[in-house]
Amino acid sequence: MNLGFPLFPEQASTMASRVDALYFVLIGVSVFFATLICLTIIVFAVRYRRRSELERPPEISGDLRLEILWSVIPLGFTLIVFVWGAKLYFETYSPPRNSLEIHVVAKQWMWKAQHPEGRSEIDELHLPAGRAIKLLLTSQDVIHDFYVPAFRIKTDVLPGRYMTVSFEPSKVGAYRLLCAEYCGTQHSGMLGRIVVLSPAEYQTWLSSGPAESTVAATGARLFQSQGCVACHADKDTERGPALADLYGKQVRLQDGKVIVADENYIRESIVNPQAKIVAGYRPIMPTFKGIVSEEGILQIISYLKSLDRPEGAQVEK
């Protein structure tokens, strides 16, 4: 394993080679045009230099075809690069449905990860090779940046908001995890490592830890202990709607807007429930800000994701 800082890090994810291909194309085109422009300047400076004070250069009317050519070619190239980069971007931030979802909470100055089976890690993250991974990230204090050079992934981690990044590890080994955003006096020490194992080794690692409840089960207990079931029962009540099958569905608000119930919506409904009121309900829910931790909110979200409602049932009242 190589935990150093080579000029070009290892390619340890399926996205790495594709990102590098775009990067080297951009470098190559930049070098080509920089060289072409420099040589043209030198040739023109020598060939068309003024040789006499009386010399008057002939008037040049220009060539419309040439002007169109040197406008269309750069435009076409920039469009190709834009589409290429946009495709990589959307694939990175649009995880497949069958992704392994892992929660990551950043805080000064550490990374805390929790696997769906319940096992937690600090400044280390074990992953199976050949499996699509979805990281759901948030910060407990300031802005951090989750950066794994070998995977070619880098995303800001913001307080009060969930960020999602997706990748598929392709090579067994250990790789550096860095914070790429200045986050305080010990920013440079906010280091970790990603350990990629074979699928069998990953299962062995999961089972070798202390017996823990799954994230969804822990979220269910927290949901019960905080009294959420008093308003959000199995069926819609006058106090609040049922939450089964809520995640990913459309919710109609009092102001007529329709939004998708994603992780950020659920989090906001917990810490600032008056921000978006569901149509047909009164704004009576209290805030749980400071009562439920960031890890606890993620656990409740996992619990809500695990709920299922019969086909055709409605979320909104």
Distance CA 119, CA 131 (A): 18
Asked if residue 220 is part of any domain, the answer here is no
Give the pLDDT of residue 126: 95
Give the pLDDT of residue 314: 42
Shared-domain flag, residues 131 and 10: yes
Shared-domain flag, residues 107 and 238: no
Q: How many distinct structural domains can be found in the chain?
A: 2
Asked if residue 52 is part of any domain, the answer here is no
Shared-domain flag, residues 178 and 70: yes
Per the rule left: phi > 0, alpha: psi between -120 and 50, beta: everything else, 314 is beta
Q: Which of 212, 246, 273 is the last residue of a domain?
A: 212
Asked if residue 50 is part of any domain, the answer here is no
Asked if residue 163 is part of any domain, the answer here is yes
Shared-domain flag, residues 206 and 231: no
- Cβ atoms of 273 and 289 closer than 8 Å: no
Shared-domain flag, residues 197 and 237: no
Asked if residue 312 is part of any domain, the answer here is no
Handedness of CA 97, 98, 99, 101 (dihedral sign): positive
CATH number, position 103: 2.60.40.420
Asked if residue 110 is part of any domain, the answer here is yes
> 295 phi and psi, to 5 degrees?
-60, -40
Give the pLDDT of residue 191: 93
**pTM, to two decimals:** 0.80
Shared-domain flag, residues 197 and 233: no
Shared-domain flag, residues 183 and 91: yes
Give the pLDDT of residue 105: 94
Asked if residue 237 is part of any domain, the answer here is yes
For residue 42 the two structure tokens come to: 């030198």
Shared-domain flag, residues 231 and 140: no
Shared-domain flag, residues 88 and 141: yes
Shared-domain flag, residues 9 and 154: yes
Distance CA 160, CA 153 (A): 21
Distance CA 141, CA 109 (A): 10
Q: Which of 162, 180, 212 is the last residue of a domain?
A: 212
Shared-domain flag, residues 244 and 291: yes
Asked if residue 71 is part of any domain, the answer here is yes
Shared-domain flag, residues 136 and 23: yes
The CB-side HSE value for 67 (13 A sphere, CA atoms) comes to 4
Q: Which of 157, 184, 212 is the last residue of a domain?
A: 212
Give the pLDDT of residue 4: 52
The whole domain housing 296 covers 226-306
Give the pLDDT of residue 147: 95
CATH number, position 264: 1.10.760.10
Mean pLDDT, 10 residues at a time, the chain of 317 residues: 65 93 93 94 88 78 85 92 94 89 93 92 94 94 94 93 93 94 91 94 87 86 87 80 85 88 90 88 87 90 78 40
